[in-house]
Amino acid sequence: MSNPPSSSRPRIAVIGATGAVGREMLLCLEQWGYGQHPVRAFASPRSAGQQLPFAGRSLTVEVFDDAPTAKWMHQVDFALLAAGSSISKKIASAATSSGVILIDNSSAFRMTPGVPLVVPEINPDHLADLIAKRTAAAKQGSRIGGIIANPNCSTIILLMALTPIHKLATVQRAVVSTYQAASGAGAQGMDELALLTRQALDGNPLTPSFFTEPYAFNLFSHNSQMDVQTGANVEEQKMLDETAKIWASDDVRISATCIRVPVMRAHSESVNITLKSPTTLRDIRLALSSFPGIKIIDDRATNTFPTPLKASGGNDVLIGRLRVDRSQLPDPCATPTDDTPATGFDLFIVGDQLRKGAAQNAVQILAALAPA
C-alpha cells in the first residue's frame, strides 16, 4: 500500500493508446462517462507527441516509461494495459505496489491464480475481494493496487452467448469454429489485410510480411503458436482454459478450431453445443434475450443473421442461426419446433472483439470498480 487515495475522479492511464485496442479504449472511456476524468495516453517512442482525440479534446501521447521508478505509477489510479504481455509483466509488480489497479488486456496474468479473469456480465463476483480490499485501504487513507485480467477476445464473445444457456441447462460440451478478423491481430494485422487486398486487386503477387500466409481472398489457421503434440494452437487452448476459470468449473469440454478470415473487424463463431438437461429453443431464446449485452438477429424468413459488419463498432454480441441440432435428437429425421425438448443446439455468434472482446470489457471492469 502507498500513496494517498486520489480525488473523487479516478485518474486513468491508457497504455498502448495508439494501438487497435488502445484507440477503442479511449472511445469506450468517453462512452462510459469518463470523458471529464484525468486520462493520459501512453505508447512507444514511435508515437511520442501524437494527438489522439478524446471527449472533444486532444490527448498528447506520452512515451511510456516501464521502469520500476516511473512517475506515472504515483500519478494514476487505474491503468488500462494494451501494449502486449511483455510490458504488462515488466511493470506489474512496481505498479501494483504503488497502488495502481491494472486492467490488463494481454494474456500475461489471465491464468495466474488469484488474478481475477472477468467478464462483468458473467462473473462480477470475482472482483469482490479486490473491491473489499480497496475499500478497506481507502478508509485508512491509502490505496491498494492489483491486477484484473481481461479474457481472450474469442473467449469473451463465446461466453457471452454460452453463459445464459449454461445457467439454463448446463453446457456439457461445445464445438466451436471461429472466423477471426484481422483486427484481432492489432494494427499490423489490419494493415496487412488492406495492403494484400490492394495487391491482389492490382494483379500483383501477394507478399505477406506480418502473417505467414497471404491474407487477401484467403483464410488460414490462427497465427498463434501451435502445440505440435496436441495439434491445438494457443488461441484454441485459451478458449478452454479461460472458460474453466471464468465459469469456475473443472469440467469444461470445448473443442475449438480457430481460423483467421479476411474480415477487417469483428470475430464470428459457429458453435454446436450439447446440454446436460433437455430444453427448448424457445427457452434458449428467452434466456439469451434477457441477458445484458446480447442482441438476437435471427430471421429465417429473410435469411437475416449476424455479420461482422453488423457487429463492428457496436457494444452487443450478436446471436443468430439458433436451431436444434437434429443429429443429437433420438430421431435425426424428425422436424423439431421451438418447443421440442432437445440437448443439442447450433448457434452463430458475432462480436466486435476490439470492443466487447477487449476495450469495452476493460472499461466495464473499470466501471465496476470506479463508476464514472
Ligand X SMILES: NC(=O)c1ccc[n+]([C@@H]2O[C@H](COP(=O)([O-])OP(=O)(O)OC[C@H]3O[C@@H](n4cnc5c(N)ncnc54)[C@H](OP(=O)(O)O)[C@@H]3O)[C@@H](O)[C@H]2O)c1
Length of the chain, in residues: 372
In the complex with ligand X, the residue whose CB is nearer, 306 or 357, is 357
Candidates 6, 31, 44, 255: give the one binding ligand X (CB under 6 A).
Answer: 44
CB of residue 350 vs ligand X: minimum separation in angstroms? 14
The per-residue b/e assignment along 137-169, b for 16 or more CB within 10 angstroms, e otherwise, is beeeeebbbbbbbbbbbbbbbbbbbbbbbbebb
By the rule CB under 6 A, 162 interacts with ligand X: no
Lay out the site mask for ligand X across 97-136 (x = CB under 6 A, - = otherwise): --------xx------------------------------
Backbone dihedral angles phi then psi of residue 262, each to the nearest 5 degrees: -80, 65
Rule CB under 6 A: which of 199-228 touch ligand X? none
Backbone dihedral angles phi then psi of residue 335, each to the nearest 5 degrees: -105, 105
Candidates 34, 54, 64, 211: give the one binding ligand X (CB under 6 A).
Answer: 64
Rule CB under 6 A: which of 76-95 touch ligand X? 82-85, 87
In the complex with ligand X, the residue whose CB is nearer, 85 or 218, is 85
Torsion sign (Cα): 275, 348, 294, 130 = positive
End-to-end CA distance of the chain: 24
Longest Cα separation, the chain: 68
CB of residue 253 vs ligand X: minimum separation in angstroms? 24
Annotated catalytic, 153? Answer: yes
Work out the burial of residue 125: count CB atoms within 10 Å of its CB; fewer than 13 is exposed, 13-18 middle, 19 or more buried. exposed
Annotated catalytic, 267? Answer: yes
Candidates 10, 16, 145, 306: give the one binding ligand X (CB under 6 A).
Answer: 16
Binding residues (CB under 6 A) for ligand X: these are 16-22, 42-44, 46-47, 64, 82-85, 87, 105-106, 153, 183-184, 186-188, 353-354, 357-358
